[in-house]
Amino acid sequence: MKKENQKERIFTRRTLFIGALQAALLCVLGGRLAWLQITQGAKYKTLSEKNRININMLSPSRGLIYDRYGTPLAVNDENFRVLVIPEQTENLEKALSKLQKLIEISQSDIKRVLKQASRSAAFVPLEVKDKLSWQEVAQVEVNLPDLPGVAIDVGEIRSYPYGVSTAHITGYVGAVTEAEVKTGDPIFKLPGFKVGRTGLEKAFDKKLRGSAGSAEVEVNVVGRQVRELKRHEGLPGKDLTLTIDADLQIYMQERLSQEKSASAVIMDVHTGAVYGLFSSPAFDVNLFTTGLSAEKWEELNADPGLPLNNKAVSGQYPPGSTFKMVTALAALEEGYVTRNKTVYCPGHYDYGGDRFHCWKRGGHGTMNLVSALAESCDTYFYEIATEIGIDTLAAYAKKLGLGERLDFDLTEEAPGLMPTIAWKRGHFGKAWQPGETIVSSIGQGYLLTTPLQLATMTARLVNGGKQVKPWLTAYTGRIPTHDYQWPVLNLSKKNLDLIGLGMSNVVNDPDGTAYAARIQNASMAMAGKTGTAQVRRITMEERSEGVLNSDLPWKLRHHALFVGYAPVGNPRYACAVVVDHGGSGSAAAAPIARDLLTKVQQRDPASKPVYLDQTSAAQPTPTRKPMQTKQNT
């Protein structure tokens, strides 16, 4: 009995001890729970709210650019880059300093990111550095746990396989400006987003850009992505298929680069398709996407050949004697001359007490229209111009595409200038003088044209008088941009044929100014017109001392021009060449035109349709992970 009572007491004590221990534990748990819910409740409620869904923007892939055969001219390459989201870092500057210890980041990059952060929303990712190597990517990835707010992203970087050869055509892309960000378009807030700055990249930027997609992503409290819940893919930009022949572009680059500064255009006289367009010197367009140093920028700007300017469409030059076809056409159409009208050239033309010199000091003797074109007699056109008048000349010049923009694909296109009586009165407040008409008749004075306009003029003269216009873009996506239906200018075929005969004799007659530059192959024979545009007039004193234009400094020498077409019997290709300060059109520009017209006929792009099925012709680009940017929470 005694034993039983003792056991009962021991059991009771143990029960009480265990119960007290359990009660103590419950009190501790209850206290902890009260502390979490009451004292720290607000804090954890805030943190839990942050573990939610973010809407991330997916950057669209920029459309590609192809030549007429499906050869890529502008593509997108993979670009590994490191981003930082300011709101997910304790201190942005410290986070960048940590990152700087892992990979090479310049102080200017850090200053740039800090500046961007000060004017952007805290949740917008900022690009710290792009074009990371695999080693740099691995170095950052390994240390990501210690780098809150930092992430590696796979984006795209624009690349131009043909570099210099197509630089002025494709143009390049550049970073978004503050003004563009302020427009409110959310796509401009994507890290590293680029927009077109020159060339077709600029002219077709919205079509090439595409539209952004979105992804619903669950993230945790420190901003790490937990899972992707839903994705809406954006639309990639539309591809452009051009009329350009990339291999012809390479040849044009090689040929024109032999001059200090030159430009040329080759186009189809019937459709207007541009097969080649080049301005030399040019530049490596990839420098603007991979990083252009200040020294290189200064070098490009200081180059007297103006490599950043697309002189083929924006260079404005007096047309010189290439304008004589306009004067001849106006005189024929208005009935001031016939084929048999002759003018005697003693080497000058006197009018109102002023003497206007022909380029040939001894004179050409008796000239008719065809021989005046072939031998480029200035005196012949001086005399007939006084009857025609400047306004009539201007009207025919504009019919042939001179003196105004041609609605070309490139926004850099310049309008040129075709003066009139009203134009001079409006600009200078002075009356037009007959002597100004005389110098205008041979393409001097106020006249300004572009190589693109000169090629268009030539095409309209030899295609039967159709108002053809030049164009570069054949397809946006798979939608054609032109139907080749050009209006007729209502010009006399007889008169056009007569001018064509004069242009043929320029090259193929022994007395022609470009006979030395003729194409020997009769099936490819070209016709054309030489031109020399005066930059600075030789004074009477210099003339008496025997000073020649070639004796002047390069920047003061005449421009050399040539316009031509081929083949003579069945015109298909028109070409315009301008050699800046090249001197004589027959010596400097005509040989280049001969080589270009020979090359384009050998390749004969007009006989082959523009290539459409780019998927089999284009080189494949790497698979890319869409870029994501948190836009709102």
Largest CA distance in the chain: 159
Q: How far separated are the first and last CA of the chain, in Å rounded?
A: 75
> What is the rounded distance in angstroms from the CA atom of residue 311 to the CA atom of residue 329?
27
- To 5 degrees, how large is the angle CA 514–CA 355–CA 391? 75
Tokens for 16? 């009480």
Amino acid identity for residue 611 in this structure: Y
Peptide bond into 281 cis (omega under 30): yes
**SS3 state of residue 353:** coil
Burial of 27 (0-12, 13-18, 19+ CB in 10 A): exposed
Tokens for 581? 């300060």
Tokens for 363? 């004179």
Q: DSSP label at 617?
A: H
Q: Does residue 81 contact residue 127 with C-beta atoms inside 8 Å? A: yes
CA dihedral sign of residues 179, 185, 191, 197:
negative
The alpha-helical segments, DSSP class H, found in 143-240 are: 167-170, 178-181, 199-203, 205-209
Kindly list the distances between the CA atom of residue 9 and the CA atoms of 19, 20, 26, 335, in Å, as whole numbers in the listed order: 15, 16, 25, 141
> Regarding beta strands 240-242 and 65-66, do their DSSP bridges make them parallel or antiparallel, or are they unpaired?
parallel
Q: Does residue 631 contact residue 87 with C-beta atoms inside 8 Å? A: no
Tokens for 546? 């025997």
Tokens for 478? 């798979």
The alpha-helical segments, DSSP class H, found in 204-334 are: 205-209, 246-256, 287-290, 294-302, 311-314, 324-333
Amino acid identity for residue 195 in this structure: V
Annotation says 584 is catalytic: no
Burial of 603 (0-12, 13-18, 19+ CB in 10 A): middle
Neighbours of 490 (CB within 10 A): 9
Q: Does residue 89 contact residue 99 with C-beta atoms inside 8 Å? A: no
Kindly list the distances between the CA atom of residue 125 and the CA atoms of 59, 170, 548, in Å, as whole numbers in the listed order: 13, 29, 64
> Looking at 261, 321, 376, 440, which residue is catalytic?
321
Q: How far does CA 68 lie from the centroid of its chain?
A: 17
> What is the rounded distance in angstroms from the CA atom of residue 454 to the CA atom of residue 401?
8
Active site residues: 321
